[in-house]
Structure 1
Amino acid sequence: MTIAPQDGTPAPPPIEPKASPTPLYPNNRVRRHLSELFRLALPVTIARLGMLIMSVVDTIVVGNYDSAGLAYLNVAHAPFTTLMVTGIGLLTGVMILTSHAVGRDNMIEAGLVWRSAMPYAVLIGILFTILTWQSQWLFIATGQPDDITQNAGELAMILSIGMPAAMIYITCAFFLEGLQRPLPGMMMMIGANAINLVLDYGLVYGAFGLPELGAEGAAWTSTVIRWFMAFSLLGYILLMKSHSLYGIRNGFSGWWRASHKARHLGYAAGASQGMETSAFAAMQLFAGRLGVVAAASYGIAMTMLALMFMVALGLASATSVRVGIAYGRRDRPDMALAGWVGLLTTMAVMFVLSAPLYLFPNAVAHLFTKDGAVILTTVSVLVLMPIIFPTDGGQNAAINALRGAGDTWAPTILHLVSYLCIMIPVGYYLTFTQGMGVPGLFWGIVIASLVAVSGLAIRFKIVSSRPIAAHTH
C-alpha cells in the first residue's frame, strides 16, 4: 500500500489491489477499466489537441498577415516537427516504466525513471537543436526556391531554440501520465494556448506595443511558449508536496546506466513514429505531384484526420498506462482486459467521430474552402473516414498496449510493413497507375491501417496470453 507523507500532504492516487487471475471478466472489472481509461484519456486528449491547436492558430494568424510568410513558416516546421515527433517516441519509455513502477507500488523507482530521463531528454534536445539549426541544407537539397530556403532557414533557427524545452516538457508530462496524474499537463496546455493566441497576434501584427515581426513573430512565440511550458511543468514536479515519495530531488548521478531500459523502449517507439511520419510525408508529396487542387484536398482531409487522431492518441496513451500498471503487478488477465478495452473503445469512439464527415462531407469541406473543384475532391475522400478513423486510431491503441506490456520491436516491424512496405507502394499504384487520384492515396491509408490494426491486435493476443516474467531490479 502507498504511505502518505508525514507532513499531511496527499499521497499519489491509490494503486488498485491485485486482481485474482481468472479467465472470466466480470462486468465491474470492465466498467472499472472504462472509467479509468476515460479519466486518464480526457486530460491527455485535451493536452494533445492543444499542441495541434497552437499550430492551427499560428497558421491562421500568419496566413491572414502574409501568405508568403505562411509558406516560409510551414517549410520551417517540417524538419522541426519530424524531429520533435521522433523525440516523443524516444521518450515514450518514461511513461511506460513509470506505470510499471506504479503497478509495483514502488514510488522511488518511478522517481528514478524521471530523474534518469531528464538528462537524456536534454541531450536529445541539444542534438535536435543542432540538426534543426542546420535545416537550410535540407531546403537546398530538396530544391526549394531561394527565397523559401533563406527565410525558412532563418525561421528554423528560431524554432530550434525551443527543442530542448519541448523534450523537457514531454518527459515531465509522460512521467505525470505514468503516475495517473494527467491534469497538470492539461492545465499547462490550456494556459499555453491562451498565451500563444495573445503573443502570436502581438508579435505578428505588432499589437499591444510589441514589435511587428510577421512569421518570425510566430516562430518566437512558439519558442517562448515551449520554454514556459517546460519550466512550469518542471517546477510543478520539483515542488509537488509528495516529491519525497518519489525521491524527485535525489540528483541525476548514474543517469545513463539507470535510463538504459527507458532508452531501449524509446528506440523502438522513435523508429516506429519516424517511419509513420515519413510515410505520410511521402503521401503528401504524391498529392503535390497531382497539382494544387489535389494538394489542397489532401491537406484538408489530413487536417481532419490529424485533429481526430489526437483523440485516439489520448485514449492510446491511457491504454498504455492501464496495461503498464497491470503488467507491473504481474496481473496478466487484467493486463489483457486493459488492452482490449482500450483498443475496442478507441475504435468505437473514432467511428462515432467519423460520422459527421461521412454524413455531411460538403459542409465540412466548405469550412475550409469555397473552391468547387477542391470541395468535390475533398468530399470524395471524407466519405472514407468511417474506415480510416477507427483503423488508424485502433492501431495506435494496439501499439501502445503492446508497449505497456513491455513489447518493443515487434510492433515497430509491423509498422514498417504496414506503412513503408504497404501504404506507400499501394498508394502510389492506386493514385498514378490506376489513375484514382487523391482517393487512391486514402485507399492506400485504408489498406495499411487495416493491416496494421489486425497485425497488432493479433500480436497483443499472443503477448497477453503469455505469463509475465518476474521483474528484475
Structure 2
Amino acid sequence: MDRAPLGSDVYRSFAKLKRHVDALVRLAGPIVVARSGVILMATVDMVMTGHYDSQQLAYLSIGLALVMPMMVGGLGLLMGTLVISANRFGAGDYPACGQAWRYSLPYAFGLGFASAVVSLFGESLLALVGQSQELAAHGGDVMMVIGLGLPVYLVYLTTAFFMEGISKPVPGMIAMLGANVVNALLNWVFIFGKLGVPEMGAVGAAWATTASRCIIAVALITYVWTMKEQVIFGVRVRPPGGWRAWAQQRWIGYGVGTSIGVETSSFAAVNMFAGWLGPLPLAAYSIAFNLLAMVFMVALGLGAATSVRVSVAHGRNDLSDLRLAGWTGLGVNTLTMIAFGLLFLFAAEPLTRIFTNDPALMVITAPLVAFMAYLPIVDGGQAVMANALRGRQDVWIPSAMQSFAFFGVMVPAVYLFVFPGGQGAIGLLQGVLLGSGVSFILLTWRFHHLARHSFLH
C-alpha cells in the first residue's frame, strides 16, 4: 500500500528537478554565451597578438593584469542590479526592476571613469610591482587604452544584468557575439597594420577591444530603451528617491565587489609572480590561464543563472525551490566542468598550438594546460556557490570566505610553490588549485547551512 505514494513522491521529485534543470539551461545558455564572449574577445586578442609576436603577447598580458581587477571589481559592485532585478521580478514588482537599472547607470559610468583615470598611470603602477622597464612601458600603453573603454563597458554590464534579472538574456548575448566579430576584424587591422593603418601589436588589440565595447554598450541600451516591455518595467521613468533609495542594491554590490575584487587582485598577484619568472613563463601562464578563464566564464554563466533562479525563489519566499535551484546549478556545473577537464588533459598540445607556434613557448605551455584538468571542478564550483549565495542576498560572509581562500591561502601558496619550492610555472597553478579548493569547500558548506534555515531578510 505504501508503494503508490512512494512512487508518486519520486515522480514529483523527479518532475520538479527536471523543471529546474530545464529552466536553468534555458536561462544559462544565453548567459554562458555572453559571459564566454567576454573571454573569447580576450582570447582572440591573445591568439592574434601571439601569432604576431610573442613579446607583444607578454605586453598585452601584463597590461591586462592590473586593469582586470578594476574591471571585474566594477562588475561585482554592479551585481546588485542582477540580484534586485531578479528578486523583484520573482515578486511580480516589475517597475522596481526598471528602477534598479536606472539607479545603476550613473553609478556604472562613475566606476568606469575612476578606473579609466587609474589606467592612465599604468606604466608607473607596473614598475611599482616589480616589472621590468620594458614590460612596464609597453604594458602601461595597453592598460591606458583598455581603461578608456571601461566607463561604457560597465554601463553595458549593468544593462546586461538587468536583462538577465528579468529572464531576457538573449539581447545581451547577441550584442556580445556581434562585438566579437567586430573585435576580430579590428584586430586584423590594428595589430597587423592593414588597410593603411600602421602595425600596433598589443596596443592595436587594446584599441580593437575598446572600440567593440563602445559598440555593444550603445546597442544594448538602445534595445532596452525601445523594447516593447519598456513601459511594464518603467525603464524610461526616473526612479524616485535619492542615494538612500537604492542602498540595498549597493550593499549587495559592495559585498560582491569586495569578493570579486580580492579574488581578481589575487590572480593579478599570481600574474606578477609569472612576470618575475620572465617573458616566456609569463606568456605560457597567460595562455593557460586564458583557457581556464574561458571555462570559468561557462561556470560564471551557470552561476549567474543559478543566482537568478535562487533570487526568484527568494522573492517568492519558497525555501524548497531555493534549495533545489542552488544544488541543481552546482550539479549541472560539475558535469560540465568534468568535460572541460578531460579536454585539457587529453588535448593540451592542440590547444596550445591555437595560441602560438613558438616551439620554446609551446614546451612550457602544454604541461600547464594539462595540469589544468584538475581546476575547473573546484574553481567553477566555487563560482556557482558564490552566485547561489548572492541570489539568497547573503554576500558578506561568502565574501570573507573567498577573500581568505584567495588572498590568505592562494597567493602565499603560489609564492611558496614557485620560488622557495622551485616548482616554476607549474607552481602557479598548484597554488590556484589549493585556493580554489578551499573556497569551494567553504562556500558549499555555507549554502548547505543556510538552505536548511528560514529566510534572511
Q: What is the TM-score with the length of structure 2 in the denominator?
A: 0.90
Offset at residue 102 of structure 1 (A): 0.8
| 2:404 counterpart residue number | 417
| 1:179 counterpart residue number | 166
| 1:322 counterpart residue number | 309
Offset at residue 190 of structure 1 (A): 0.9
Which of 388, 392, 397 in structure 1 is aligned with 2:379? Answer: 392
Tell which deviates more after alignment, 140-149 or 55-64. 140-149
| 1:361 counterpart residue number | 348
Offset at residue 284 of structure 1 (A): 2.7
Change (3 A) 1:23 1:461: farther
Which of 50, 67, 83 in structure 2 is aligned with 1:96? Answer: 83
Change (3 A) 1:368 1:110: closer
| 1:468 counterpart residue number | 455
Separation in structure 2 between the aligned mates of residue 206 and residue 435 of structure 1, nearest angstrom: 41
SS at match of 1:319: helix
1:457 and 2:444 are equivalent in the alignment: yes
Which of 408, 413, 425 in structure 1 is aligned with 2:395? Answer: 408
| 1:307 counterpart residue number | 294
Offset at residue 117 of structure 1 (A): 1.1
Which of 7, 16, 25 in structure 2 is aligned with 1:38? Answer: 25
Offset at residue 399 of structure 1 (A): 0.4
| 2:336 counterpart residue number | 349
Tell which deviates more after alignment, 408-417 or 215-224. 215-224
Q: Where does structure 2 lack aligned partners over 5 or more consecutive residues? A: 1-8
Equivalent runs, 1:324-339 vs 2, <5 Å: 324-339=311-326
Which amino acid in 1 is paired with 2:86?
A: S
Change (3 A) 1:397 1:367: same
Q: Alignment RMSD, CA only?
A: 2.6
SS at match of 2:451: helix
Tell which deviates more after alignment, 132-141 or 395-404. 132-141
| 2:419 counterpart residue number | 432
Judge conservation of contact 1:115–1:255 (CA < 8 Å) in 2: no
| 2:111 counterpart residue number | 124
Tell which deviates more after alignment, 165-174 or 301-310. 301-310
Offset at residue 119 of structure 1 (A): 1.6
| 2:434 counterpart residue number | 447
SS at match of 2:429: helix
SS at match of 2:454: coil
| 2:190 counterpart residue number | 203
Change (3 A) 1:299 1:74: closer
Offset at residue 80 of structure 1 (A): 2.4
| 2:212 counterpart residue number | 225
1:425-471 deviations in whole A, cap 9, x for unaligned?
A: 2233333344333333323222222221111111001111221256x
| 1:190 counterpart residue number | 177
Offset at residue 412 of structure 1 (A): 0.7
Change (3 A) 1:449 1:78: closer
| 1:266 counterpart residue number | 253
Change (3 A) 1:205 1:440: closer
SS at match of 1:465: coil
Offset at residue 255 of structure 1 (A): 4.5
| 2:241 counterpart residue number | 254
1:48 and 2:6 are equivalent in the alignment: no
Q: Where does structure 1 lack aligned partners over 5 or more consecutive residues? A: 1-21
Judge conservation of contact 1:119–1:252 (CA < 8 Å) in 2: no
Judge conservation of contact 1:176–1:182 (CA < 8 Å) in 2: yes
Offset at residue 132 of structure 1 (A): 1.6
| 2:6 counterpart residue number | none
Tell which deviates more after alignment, 403-412 or 359-368. 359-368
| 1:19 counterpart residue number | none
Offset at residue 368 of structure 1 (A): 4.4
Change (3 A) 1:221 1:468: same
1:26 and 2:9 are equivalent in the alignment: no
| 1:298 counterpart residue number | 285
Offset at residue 391 of structure 1 (A): 0.7
Percent of residue pairs bearing the same amino acid type: 37
Which of 4, 26, 48 in structure 2 is aligned with 1:61? Answer: 48
Judge conservation of contact 1:116–1:258 (CA < 8 Å) in 2: no
| 2:151 counterpart residue number | 164
1:258-283 deviations in whole A, cap 9, x for unaligned?
A: 22111111111111111111222222
| 1:4 counterpart residue number | none
Aligned residues between the structures: 449
Judge conservation of contact 1:119–1:255 (CA < 8 Å) in 2: no
| 2:272 counterpart residue number | 285
SS at match of 1:259: helix
Separation in structure 2 between the aligned mates of residue 416 and residue 84 of structure 1, nearest angstrom: 18
1:163-221 deviations in whole A, cap 9, x for unaligned?
A: 11011000100000111111001100111111122222223444345565554443332
Separation in structure 2 between the aligned mates of residue 409 and residue 268 of structure 1, nearest angstrom: 5
Q: What is the TM-score with the length of structure 1 in the denominator?
A: 0.87
Change (3 A) 1:362 1:71: closer
Change (3 A) 1:152 1:469: closer
Tell which deviates more after alignment, 225-234 or 150-159. 150-159
Judge conservation of contact 1:162–1:224 (CA < 8 Å) in 2: yes
Offset at residue 59 of structure 1 (A): 2.8
Change (3 A) 1:412 1:243: same
SS at match of 2:37: helix
Separation in structure 1 between the aligned mates of residue 131 and residue 288 of structure 2, nearest angstrom: 25
Judge conservation of contact 1:319–1:342 (CA < 8 Å) in 2: yes
1:111 and 2:98 are equivalent in the alignment: yes
